[in-house]
Chain A
Amino acid sequence: MFDNFPLWPTAASTGAGNVDALYIFLVALSSFMCAAIFTMIIVFALRYRRRKGVEAEQIEGSTVLEITWSAVPLFIFLFIFVWGAAIYFAERTPPRGATEVYVVAKQWMWKLQHPEGPREINELHVPVGRDVKLIMTSQDVIHSFYVPSFRIKQDVLPGRYTTAWFRAIKPGTYHLFCAEYCGTMHSGMIGQVVVMEPNRYEAWLSGGGTSGSLAANGASMFQQLGCPTCHRSDTQGRGPNLVGVFGKPVHLEDGRTVIADEDYIRESIVAPAAKIVSGFKPIMPVFQGLVSEEQLNALVVYIKSLSPPPSGSAGQPSGLPAGAELQQPKE
């Protein structure tokens, strides 16, 4: 009936329902507060409107009332804060073993790449019921990845990775918007997320001419760029051994310790001098400008694939780079 006039976005992800619940609660609370205050104002305005011979009654104030109407809202606010924070916490914490889709934003286009290989532009196909983690970066200015039906939004910044995740629960086609103003065609930087039943997703996956998995591309980049010359899989290399590095703490030359996450690996490629691993010399060339964002993503995925998935994750997640096992360097 309301084809052109919907009032509520579809709730198509596991998180959407939680956001809607809090939203409905707040709408109810606000309506109640508005109704209460407006009723009071209207009643007072009519009941105490100016009349001949009736003087206003001077009232100084009431400390008890003041404290009440400061404390009660405060407690309600704190309640809302906790509820909102809980939702946010879930939104910001991707489950282990989520399929990792790499997103590169540029003026004015979304480029997405699945771990299995397919690349998409302004379109993202995902199956129902799978956790999908988006690892995003920008080639130029700040963008923002926004899917209203999933209730997720995350700014995408140049020079670093930000992440978001969702699990779709309802097949359909949903809007993908850029929500951070990014220049002339900001409003044209839109696309769609297509949520499919798993079997149709598999069909889609095998239908497209894939160019090899992301990790496999990364592996060949790794060879092409000559990385294995130094980053050998033993301890004799001039660079650190990269097998098993990802997700582990790394001791740096200046005494700090960092966790080897995506941002760290990325930084180590584009600006190797920033963090030198303890015991090594700063001899690695700078790759800034020599590798594109997509190639960088492939390299990061490849290096990640050199580390076994964290133990305790529920089985082999379907999203693990398909070629990870094959690409393990021969010892």
Chain B
Amino acid sequence: MSEHIKSEHVMSSKMYYGIWAALMCLTVVTAAVSFVDLGPLNTIVALVIATFKALLVVLFFMHVKYTSEKNDQGGNRIRDFLAFYPAGSQSRGLHDTPPQLAPCACGLTCDILRAALREAIS
């Protein structure tokens, strides 16, 4: 069926429950650890746990892990944004080609260097 849109991958509910359990545990851990005197480490531990929890939510609940593993057209944000190809190669570029802020900057730098080299040699 043409309904098979790429990111329509259904993740197993087990995985969601696993992430949920991890998040709950981390919540308890972070609250408990705050009562232990670790000196200046307390803040660091709290923030590291918070960041880890946030990552779990972003990667699994918000599906970023999945969408950045597949990489067809569209959908993938992170790798597309950082993907590298010279700005000169214009063969790509239908309307659904991914964003290219970073690639353009990189490609541009590349072009400049190449041109500078050419000028220097000739």
User: A residues near B, CB below 8 A?
Assistant: 63-64, 66-67
Whole-angstrom CA separation of A67 from B112 in the bound complex:
9
How far apart are A61's CB and chain B's nearest CB, in angstroms?
10
A-facing residues in B60-113 (Cβ within 8 Å): 111-112
Inter-chain contacts of B111 with A (CB < 8 A): 63
Whole-angstrom CA separation of A67 from B113 in the bound complex:
11
- B37 at interface, CB cutoff 8 A: no
Listed from nearest, the 9 A-B pairs whose CB atoms lie closest are: A63-B115, A64-B119, A63-B112, A63-B116, A67-B116, A63-B119, A67-B112, A63-B111, A64-B116
Inter-chain contacts of B116 with A (CB < 8 A): 63-64, 67
User: B residues near A, CB below 8 A?
Assistant: 111-112, 115-116, 119
Residue of B nearest to A61 (CB): B115
If A63-B112, A63-B115, A67-B112 are given as contacts, then 8 extra A-B residue pairs at C-beta distance below 8 Å, sorted by A number, are A63-B111, A63-B116, A63-B119, A64-B115, A64-B116, A64-B119, A66-B112, A67-B116
Whole-angstrom CA separation of A63 from B115 in the bound complex:
7
Inter-chain contacts of A67 with B (CB < 8 A): 112, 116
Inter-chain contacts of B119 with A (CB < 8 A): 63-64
Residue of A nearest to B114 (CB): A63
Residue of A nearest to B112 (CB): A63
Whole-angstrom CA separation of A66 from B116 in the bound complex:
11
Inter-chain contacts of A66 with B (CB < 8 A): 112
Residue of B nearest to A66 (CB): B112
Whole-angstrom CA separation of A89 from B50 in the bound complex:
43
How far apart are A201's CB and chain B's nearest CB, in angstroms?
55
How far apart are A74's CB and chain B's nearest CB, in angstroms?
15
Residue of A nearest to B119 (CB): A64
How far apart are B120's CB and chain A's nearest CB, in angstroms?
10
A63, A64, A66, A67 — most chain B CB neighbours (10 Å): A63
How far apart are B28's CB and chain A's nearest CB, in angstroms?
31
Residue of A nearest to B118 (CB): A63
How far apart are A205's CB and chain B's nearest CB, in angstroms?
55
Can you list 7 A-B contacts with CB-CB less than 8 angstroms, sorted by A residue number? A63-B112, A63-B119, A64-B115, A64-B116, A64-B119, A67-B112, A67-B116
Inter-chain contacts of B112 with A (CB < 8 A): 63, 66-67
Whole-angstrom CA separation of A28 from B73 in the bound complex:
55
Whole-angstrom CA separation of A67 from B114 in the bound complex:
13
Whole-angstrom CA separation of A67 from B118 in the bound complex:
14
How far apart are A161's CB and chain B's nearest CB, in angstroms?
31
Whole-angstrom CA separation of A66 from B108 in the bound complex:
13
Whole-angstrom CA separation of A63 from B122 in the bound complex:
14
Residue of B nearest to A64 (CB): B119
Whole-angstrom CA separation of A67 from B119 in the bound complex:
12
How far apart are A270's CB and chain B's nearest CB, in angstroms?
30
Whole-angstrom CA separation of A67 from B116 in the bound complex:
9
Whole-angstrom CA separation of A221 from B116 in the bound complex:
73
Whole-angstrom CA separation of A21 from B98 in the bound complex:
53
Whole-angstrom CA separation of A63 from B116 in the bound complex:
7
Inter-chain contacts of A63 with B (CB < 8 A): 111-112, 115-116, 119
Residue of A nearest to B113 (CB): A63
How far apart are B122's CB and chain A's nearest CB, in angstroms?
11
How far apart are A141's CB and chain B's nearest CB, in angstroms?
36
Whole-angstrom CA separation of A64 from B115 in the bound complex:
8
Inter-chain contacts of B115 with A (CB < 8 A): 63-64
Whole-angstrom CA separation of A1 from B112 in the bound complex:
58
Whole-angstrom CA separation of A255 from B98 in the bound complex:
53
Inter-chain contacts of A64 with B (CB < 8 A): 115-116, 119
How far apart are A234's CB and chain B's nearest CB, in angstroms?
37
Residue of B nearest to A62 (CB): B115
How far apart are A180's CB and chain B's nearest CB, in angstroms?
37
Whole-angstrom CA separation of A63 from B111 in the bound complex:
9
How far apart are A293's CB and chain B's nearest CB, in angstroms?
37
Whole-angstrom CA separation of A66 from B109 in the bound complex:
13
Residue of A nearest to B115 (CB): A63
How far apart are A63's CB and chain B's nearest CB, in angstroms?
4
